[in-house]
Amino acid sequence: MTATGTPMLRRRALLAAGTGLALAAPAAHAQAYPDRPLTILVPFATGGYNDRLARAMAPFVQKHIGQPVTVMNRPGGGTVLGNTFFLQQPDDGYMVMVHSAGPYIPVSILTRNARYKADDFWMINLPSRDLTLMACATGKPTQSVDEVVASLKRDPRSLSVGLQPASADLINFALFCQAHGIDRSAVRVVTYDGGGPARNAVAGGHVDVGLVGGEGFLPIKDRIRPLLMFTDAKDSEYPDTPILTDHARAAGFEPQFVEGSQRGFVTSKRFVDAQPERYRILLQAIERATKDPECVTTLGGQQLATTWYGPEASNRAYLATAALMERYADLLRSR
Amino acid sequence: MIDTVAFGSAVAMLAGSLDAWLWVVPGLLIGLVFGALPGISVSMAMALVLPATLYMEFLPAIIFLTSVYTGAGFGGSIPAVLINIPGTSSAVATTFDGYPMARAGKHNEALGAALFASCIGVLISYMILLVLVQPLAEVVLRIGPYEMAAIGIWGMVLLGSIGGSSVSKGMFAAGLGILFGTVGMNTAGYMRGDMGIPWLLDGIPTIPAMVGLLAASQLFALVNAKFIVEAEGDRGISLRRILAGGAMVLKNPVTLLRGTAIGVFVGAVPGIGSSIANLLSYGETRRTSADAETFGTGNVKGVIAAESANSSSEGGSMATMLALGIPGGGATAILLAAFAMHNVIGGPRFMEQSRDVVYAIILSNFAQAAVLVVVGTIFVYGASTIVRLPLRYLIPSVLVVSTMGAFAMEGSIAGPITLYVFAVLGWLLSRYGFPVAAVVVGLLLGRLIETEMLRAWQLAGGDLWRVLDYPWALGILGLMVLSLALSLRRDLAKRRALRAAASPG
């Protein structure tokens, strides 16, 4: 099992380098861009989903744009530092971000007084969509979401709930409580500064129930009992888990939820307006890389998404999340 | 507990693969160099070599990365001993006694002790991992806010007034450190003390602040000295004395084992890791030692305690990573990323299906610990030459390297600014007799205690009596009170004996 994929990967790298050279030569005559290496900026630390996505995509973007592509991490301040740094760069198309743009950019504006606006950013493609998952440890007595509702309705202090402050998960929990008439201010909400710590707290049974992005739970799927997914369509990773729309119909309320992380390639609106020709080249390279069959297999094996939605759909989804976040801004701020 | 079939195939796997062995020495050396450079953390060193592993087979890639991990774990202690600057945040406690030893001309012994304590720590922690990987991971996952808060408080009580001329000055310094630790966004999303500066959103950058405090307080004190080691005859670099330092480790088995145990358990807790483990181990050793008053002035037991704990944290955090797929810190997060790059998903299923690979990784780490003894000795031999460097060259060089390290760490000017602000503060504090080490301890432990106590409070919904539901936390606090009472009694008895001896008749 140790050898799976590796020799192939090596061959692929050689191939990538070869095609890269072949592509670069004619491109240099046609136009200047890109005539030097590109950087993918990740506003998170190494090892997370965005970092893995950026590093996995880099060789394929390199292959299709004809210049070396490197990954740079600039974590901190709930992506404020990375976002600010990115907007300070010249609009020359040599830097592009891989980002959980929704909800991080709007949330950073609403809760951390960041100086940029949501539409300063332009989505190229957001292939990864994460959903809020309500779950508990397998050792906990809670078996279903209905038990959670009954328990919290009887006494809001009966269960402790782990989540991240200023997150889509918090908004979903607030909407959930509102719909069920549960007094959220009385619930014992325990806050974690990151999805990882929040998931550990759920898996370790520190909290009775947790609401965190479902994708990150996959490696420790055996230790948790998924209770409810905040979505309107069944998820292939959690096929047996009830979804919010069904749950809401049964309980007799209008289903309301916000999407979790929307991750993928992001650039600045300024660059798109100032350099339409360069933007077209960059967009084309990322689209070809994303649709590259080798890329699809490689990333699929690493549980990374490669769906192509394109800028139009991606921006629509992102701006919809930003608008929803703004609508529920007071939920994010009042704790 | 050991699956013999899988064990056999792990041995065969390692024996049959030259590739796997080829990467151990380069990995250790890369780790040593990066670990020794102030400002480059263990996880940064691993992130730097990560792209190279993409083109290796799975097992050699993981062995290469864990070699860097092991090397960097020890590398941090070299500048800690020689120039009082911890190369990584896990070597803070190493400075407390390592540097005084170096100044007294015992740099060979201090580095030898650090090296052997590290190697044996790694070795024991992986042995524990080999036998107990699953139960260890289970225990660690259960450690929640109450237990962590208790551990943090214990550390604070042990080290709060470290190195001070008076208890009140020590407590002031520790309080200052805790306040610095609370700057930035807390776990509930509230901003405190960021003064509108975006760089402070995540708090004061710990490593530049720490380097500034520790380096400045010592380097300015060296203004009149010509060399770190005053006596010319002591400036030698001797293999015999490095090995003698190693022998001191074997003469203090209790210190070593306690450090290792603390490292394995505390280091394994996700998000806590070796930077807390080495402080706790140092504090515990100091408390239980009969010669507690010599700690901070060059007691080799302090070095052994700190180094055995920070290196055995590696085995602990590997347990949670292998058995649960949960990264305990930056280093294991990068290992998991390397797993993913080879289409291997860490976690329970990986443990079941590829037990042989897990054993191969563990066995290779035994070998790494052994190889580190040799590679580390050679490295230390070379690195020690800086005691022969006149301070008028050394101090500016250290400041330049620290500044670059601070820049690399933060990726912006915020790092160097933090370094200089805290350097000035460190100089002022030591000028007026406040223990700088206590500020660093407060900075490192303050944030942990605050975060975990806040979560404990949230879990309890404000009900104090809920703490009774957490017997382990109560147990830790109970032990703490008991041990403090015992040391107090011992101190009082000692003082009475002294008074009796002093008064005639």
- Contact check, Cβ <8 Å, B199/A76: yes
Q: What does B460-474 look like in DSSP terms, one character per residue? A: HTT-GGGGGG-HHHH
Closest A-chain CA to B341: A302
- The dihedral over CA atoms of B227, B232, B234, B235, expressed in degrees to the nearest 10, equals 50
- Contact check, Cβ <8 Å, A335/B326: no
Q: Determine the length of chain B.
A: 505
- pLDDT given at position A25: 44
- Tens of pLDDT along chain B (505 residues) come to 677 788 888 888 777 777 778 889 999 999 998 888 877 778 778 888 887 887 888 888 999 999 999 998 899 899 899 888 887 878 889 999 999 898 888 888 999 999 999 999 999 999 888 888 878 778 878 888 898 888 888 888 877 666 666 778 888 888 999 999 888 888 887 878 878 787 787 788 888 888 888 887 777 777 777 787 777 777 777 888 888 888 898 999 999 999 999 888 887 787 677 888 888 899 888 888 888 788 888 889 999 999 999 888 888 888 888 887 777 777 888 888 788 777 777 777 787 788 888 888 888 888 899 999 999 999 988 888 888 888 888 888 888 888 888 887 777 788 899 999 999 999 898 888 888 888 888 888 888 888 889 999 998 888 888 888 888 888 888 888 887 787 778 778 877 888 887 765 4
- Contact check, Cβ <8 Å, B198/A302: no
Question: Chain B residues with CB inside 8 Å of A191's CB?
Answer: 187-189, 454-455, 458
CA distance A154 to chain B (A): 16
- Contact check, Cβ <8 Å, A76/B50: no
Partner-chain residue, chosen from A56, A200, A222, that has the shortest CB–CB distance to B326: A200
CA distance A15 to chain B (A): 13
- Contact check, Cβ <8 Å, B333/A80: no
CA–CA dist B500, A15 (Å, integer): 84
CA–CA dist A209, B115 (Å, integer): 45
Q: Beta-carbon neighbour count of residue B195 at 10 Å?
A: 6
One-letter amino acid of B341: M
Q: Look at phi and psi of residue B111 and say left if phi exceeds 0, alpha if psi is from -120 to 50, else beta.
A: alpha
| DSSP symbol at A243 | B
Q: Which of B324, B343, B454, B469 to mutate to test the interface with A (most CBs of A within 10 A)?
A: B343
Partner-chain residue, chosen from B57, B270, B459, that has the shortest CB–CB distance to A190: B459
CA–CA dist B459, B464 (Å, integer): 10
**Parallel, antiparallel or unpaired: strands B184-185 and A188-191:** unpaired
What pTM did the predictor assign? 0.80
Report the candidate in B456, B125, B144 with the shortest Cα–Cα distance to residue B281: B125
Question: Chain B residues with CB inside 8 Å of A165's CB?
Answer: 187-189
**A77-122 per-position pLDDT tens digit:** 788 889 998 999 999 999 999 999 988 899 889 887 788 999 999 9
CA distance B14 to chain A (A): 12
CA distance B20 to chain A (A): 12
Which range among A12-16, A29-33, A181-185 shows the weakest confidence by mean pLDDT?
A12-16
- Contact check, Cβ <8 Å, A112/B57: no
- pLDDT given at position A180: 92
CA–CA dist A118, A108 (Å, integer): 10
H-only helix segments in B220-347: 239-251, 253-268, 274-288, 300-324, 330-341
Kindly list the structural domains of chain A, giving each domain's residue range(s) and its CATH number in brackets, ordered by start: 38-129+261-334 (3.40.190.150), 132-251 (3.40.190.10)
- pLDDT given at position B504: 58
- Contact check, Cβ <8 Å, A220/B341: no
CA distance A301 to chain B (A): 6
Question: Chain A residues with CB inside 8 Å of B342's CB?
Answer: 4-6
Beta strands in A45-106 (DSSP E): 69-73, 95-100
Partner-chain residue, chosen from B55, B341, B459, that has the shortest CB–CB distance to A160: B459
For A313, the enclosing helix (H) or strand (E) is helix A310-327
Partner-chain residue, chosen from A111, A192, A206, that has the shortest CB–CB distance to B187: A192
B180, B447 in Cβ contact below 8 A? no
- Contact check, Cβ <8 Å, B455/A191: yes
Question: Phi and psi (nearest 5°) for A48?
Answer: -80, -175
- pLDDT given at position B88: 80
CA distance A210 to chain B (A): 12
Burial annotation B160-193 (CB, 10 A radius, 16+ → b, else e):
bbbbbeeeebbbbbbebbbebbbbbbbbbbeeee
Say whether pLDDT at A5 is over 50. Answer: no
Handedness of CA B96, B100, B105, B106 (dihedral sign): negative
**A206-216 per-position pLDDT tens digit:** 999 999 988 88
- pLDDT given at position B294: 85
Q: What is the 3-state secondary structure (H, E, C) of B42-72?
A: HHHHHHHHHHHHCCCCHHHHHHHHHHHHHHH
- Contact check, Cβ <8 Å, B326/A166: no
Distances (CA, A) of A212 to A86, A200, A226, B349: 28, 11, 11, 22
Burial class (CB in 10 A: 0-12, 13-18, 19+), A3: exposed
Closest B-chain CA to A11: B55
Burial class (CB in 10 A: 0-12, 13-18, 19+), A181: exposed
CA–CA dist B411, A70 (Å, integer): 16
Q: Count how many pairs of residues, chain A against chain B, have C-beta atoms within 8 Å.
A: 154
**A146-170 per-position pLDDT tens digit:** 999 999 999 999 999 999 887 888 8
Helical packing angle, B58-75 and B24-36, nearest 10° = 30
A289, A63 in Cβ contact below 8 A? yes
Question: Chain A residues with CB inside 8 Å of B42's CB?
Answer: none
The rounded mean pLDDT for chain A is 85
Burial class (CB in 10 A: 0-12, 13-18, 19+), B11: middle
Helix (H/G/I), strand (E/B), else coil: A242: coil
Handedness of CA B256, B258, B259, B260 (dihedral sign): positive
- Contact check, Cβ <8 Å, B341/A191: no
Distances (CA, A) of B327 to A38, A73, A269, B146, B348: 30, 18, 36, 21, 13
Handedness of CA A299, A301, A302, A303 (dihedral sign): positive
- pLDDT given at position B161: 61
- Contact check, Cβ <8 Å, A188/B461: yes
Distances (CA, A) of B189 to A173, A261, B138, B458: 16, 18, 29, 13
- Contact check, Cβ <8 Å, B340/A201: no
CA–CA dist B236, B481 (Å, integer): 45
- Contact check, Cβ <8 Å, A112/B411: no
Question: Chain A residues with CB inside 8 Å of B47's CB?
Answer: 46, 73
Mean of pLDDT values over A7-14: 46
Closest B-chain CA to A2: B58
Q: What is the 3-state secondary structure (H, E, C) of B258-283?
A: HHHHHHHHHHHCCCCCHHHHHHHHHH
One-letter amino acid of B328: G
One-letter amino acid of B6: A
- Contact check, Cβ <8 Å, A203/B324: yes
Helix (H/G/I), strand (E/B), else coil: A202: helix
**Parallel, antiparallel or unpaired: strands B191-192 and B184-185:** antiparallel
Q: Which of B50, B459, B464 to mutate to test the interface with A (most CBs of A within 10 A)?
A: B459
Closest A-chain CA to B453: A190
Ordered by start, the domain boundaries in chain B are: 4-500
- Contact check, Cβ <8 Å, A203/B141: yes
- Contact check, Cβ <8 Å, A220/B55: no
> Between A308 and B16, whose confidence is greater?
A308
> Between A283 and A45, whose confidence is greater?
A283
**A208-263 per-position pLDDT tens digit:** 999 998 888 877 788 899 999 998 888 778 888 999 999 999 988 888 888 888 99
Report the candidate in A194, A320, A185, A214 with the shortest Cα–Cα distance to residue A258: A320
